[in-house]
């Protein structure tokens, strides 16, 4: 890897979301001189809006590999002990015999990969999560999943960057990427050996190539209740959720609820390409609550405190984009974005893959499924 000139940075990172912060933390830990330029505050973008379900989804082998690597790295990270989180596991809820069969296939895949999971039949499910509707067929329980506070994860990574001698520059928006670094909106030029574009949805606007980056915002809405400690014990997800997440519908709703460390219940979630405004859509929220009542019949009795919406950076195939920007003349411009609804989980794996590519090392997992070439340039 080419280091920055004397006095220059080795790496300048655009964006202080979970992905930019994880990459910065990994690079500082590897001894590189790093600065993150964040247009607002650390974690202010999609990272602040996310549900924080750290979940190993196995439907796509590449996503599975990245999520598994990421969970290992989160747990190895010293800062992990400081994160507000619950090691509650996930219950994937089956309403029908067909979903039970799908859950059991999923169980076999998880077990083959060495993950701890089991099938709960209807009585076992009622004992595990008494507030659930009694007509459910059962649930696949995945023990290793957690829920965590996303903005806190980004802030803790940023603290590591600062402690390791890196810089986190907030309220410093970047105007463009340059061959020799960055140019900020205030005209300042930042010299760096390498630049990493990790600006979430805004990566499209800052993309330096001739062909546009194929990334689009996918809106999601969430609601959080007052504190009801013990109301839920696990993160709950309907098995149809993965179809909604991987599907391309203009708008969809799938039941997803979590206990939070605060005792609150976080309720999700929706997906929409149609509406990309930051506004909460009341009709969609009503749909989400109705869907939740199907699984948790008394949920409407809980006091909702707040609702919000955020924009997931979504790629056409649902996988993130990690690697060298095609056509980068000096080969020193990189990208890490497009994590859609899984970026809080997969940020550490992303950082590991990106840093290994930058340093010319063999990544821990095959980087090909995340190659930027698949959506830009000649292969687009
Ligand atoms: C409703 C919802 C629910 C979700 N639930 C989950 C979940 O349960 N589990 C999970 O793993 N993931 C979840 N996610 C996904 C996760 O939140 C995202 O994948 C992740 O936060 C993306 O991180 P990022 O760093 O790429 O983007 P962002 O967090 O958006 O960070 C990009 C940063 O770049 C900055 N920026 C933009 N332009 C510039 C510029 N010109 N100069 C400098 N800085 C700039 C922005 O201010 C921002 O802080 C959810 C997302 C949403 C919206």
Checking if the pLDDT of 188 tops 60, the result is: yes
What is the per-residue pLDDT for 15? 98
* The ligand 1 atom nearest the CA atom of 53: 8
Checking if the pLDDT of 275 tops 50, the result is: yes
Q: How far from 208 is each of 184, 201, 335, CA to CA, in Å?
A: 15, 14, 11
151 lines ligand 1 (CB under 6 A): no
Over residues 243-272, mean pLDDT: 88
What's the half-sphere exposure (Cβ side, CA atoms, 13 Å) at 237? 28
Q: How far from 119 is each of 59, 83, 305, CA to CA, in Å?
A: 18, 29, 34
How remote is the CA of residue 278 from the centroid of ligand 1, in Å?
Answer: 14
Question: Range with the lowest mean pLDDT among 208-217, 240-249, 368-377?
Answer: 240-249
323 lines ligand 1 (CB under 6 A): no
What is the per-residue pLDDT for 5? 76
Checking if the pLDDT of 34 tops 80, the result is: yes
Reading phi first (left if > 0) and then psi (alpha if -120 to 50, else beta), residue 331 is in left
Q: Which pTM was predicted?
A: 0.96
pLDDT confidence band for 243 (50 / 70 / 90): low
How remote is the CA of residue 20 from the centroid of ligand 1, in Å?
Answer: 9
217 lines ligand 1 (CB under 6 A): no
How remote is the CA of residue 129 from the centroid of ligand 1, in Å?
Answer: 31
51 lines ligand 1 (CB under 6 A): yes
Burial of 76 (0-12, 13-18, 19+ CB in 10 A): exposed
How remote is the CA of residue 229 from the centroid of ligand 1, in Å?
Answer: 28
Checking if the pLDDT of 157 tops 70, the result is: yes
202 lines ligand 1 (CB under 6 A): yes
Question: Range with the lowest mean pLDDT among 29-33, 56-60, 114-118, 369-373?
Answer: 56-60
Candidate from 13, 46, 56, 266 with most ligand 1 atoms within 8 A of CB, to mutate = 46
**377 within 8 A of 51, measured Cβ to Cβ:** no
Checking if the pLDDT of 378 tops 50, the result is: no
Candidate from 344, 346, 347 with most ligand 1 atoms within 8 A of CB, to mutate = 344
Q: Which of 89, 88, 50 has its CA nearest to residue 261?
A: 88
Over residues 280-285, mean pLDDT: 93
How remote is the CA of residue 301 from the centroid of ligand 1, in Å?
Answer: 31
DSSP secondary structure string for all residues of 199-266: -GGGHHHH--SSSPP--EEEEEEEEEEEE-TTS-SSEEEETTHHHHHHS--SEEEEEEEEE-TTSEEE
How remote is the CA of residue 167 from the centroid of ligand 1, in Å?
Answer: 20
Percentage with pLDDT > 70 across the chain: 97
Question: Strands, E, within the chain: which ranges?
Answer: 9-14, 34-37, 53-54, 85-86, 90-94, 117-121, 138-142, 146-148, 167-169, 174-178, 181-184, 189-197, 216-227, 235-238, 251-259, 264-272, 304-314, 321-324, 333-337
| Three-state secondary structure readout of 245-258 | HHCCCCEEEEEEEE
Q: What is the pLDDT of residues 315-369, one digit of tens each?
A: 999 999 999 999 887 889 999 999 999 999 999 999 999 999 999 999 999 999 9
Contacts of residue 72, defined as CB under 8 A and 6 or more positions apart, other chains included, come to none
């Amino acid at each position: 890897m080419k280091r920055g000139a004397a006095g220059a940075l080795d790496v300048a990172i655009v964006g202080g979301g979970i992905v930019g912060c994880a990459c910065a933390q990994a690079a500082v830990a590897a001894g590189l001189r790093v600065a993150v330029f964040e247009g607002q505050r650390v974690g202010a973008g999609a990272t602040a809006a996310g549900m924080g379900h750290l979940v190993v989804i196995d439907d796509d082998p590449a996503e599975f590999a990245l999520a598994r690597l990421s969970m290992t790295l989160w747990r190895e990270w010293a800062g992990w002990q400081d994160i507000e989180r619950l090691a509650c596991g996930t219950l994937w809820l089956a309403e029908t015999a067909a979903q039970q069969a799908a859950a059991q296939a999923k169980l076999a895949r998880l077990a083959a990969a060495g993950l701890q999971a089991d099938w709960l039949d209807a009585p076992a499910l009622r004992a595990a999560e008494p507030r659930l509707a009694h007509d459910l067929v059962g649930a696949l329980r995945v023990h290793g999943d957690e829920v965590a506070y996303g903005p806190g994860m980004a802030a803790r990574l940023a603290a590591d960057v600062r402690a390791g001698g890196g810089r986190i520059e907030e309220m410093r928006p970047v105007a463009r990427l340059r061959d020799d670094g960055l140019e900020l909106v205030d005209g300042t030029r930042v010299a760096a050996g390498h630049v990493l574009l990790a600006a979430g949805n805004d990566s499209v606007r800052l993309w330096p190539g001739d062909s546009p980056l194929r990334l689009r915002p996918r809106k999601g809405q969430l609601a959080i209740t007052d504190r009801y400690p013990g109301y839920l014990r696990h993160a709950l997800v309907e098995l149809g959720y993965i179809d909604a997440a991987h599907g391309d519908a203009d708008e969809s709703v799938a039941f997803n609820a979590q206990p939070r460390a605060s005792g609150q219940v976080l309720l999700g979630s929706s997906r929409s390409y149609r509406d990309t405004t930051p506004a909460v859509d009341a009709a969609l929220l009503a749909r989400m609550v109705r869907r939740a009542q199907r699984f948790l019949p008394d949920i409407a009795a809980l006091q909702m405190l707040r609702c919000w919406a955020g924009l997931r950076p979504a790629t056409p195939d649902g996988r993130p984009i990690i690697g060298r920007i095609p056509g980068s003349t000096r080969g020193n411009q990189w990208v890490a974005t497009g994590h859609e609804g899984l970026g809080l989980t997969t940020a550490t794996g992303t950082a590991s893959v990106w840093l290994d590519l930058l340093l010319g090392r063999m990544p821990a997992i095959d980087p090909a499924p995340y190659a930027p070439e698949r959506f830009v340039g000649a292969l687009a």
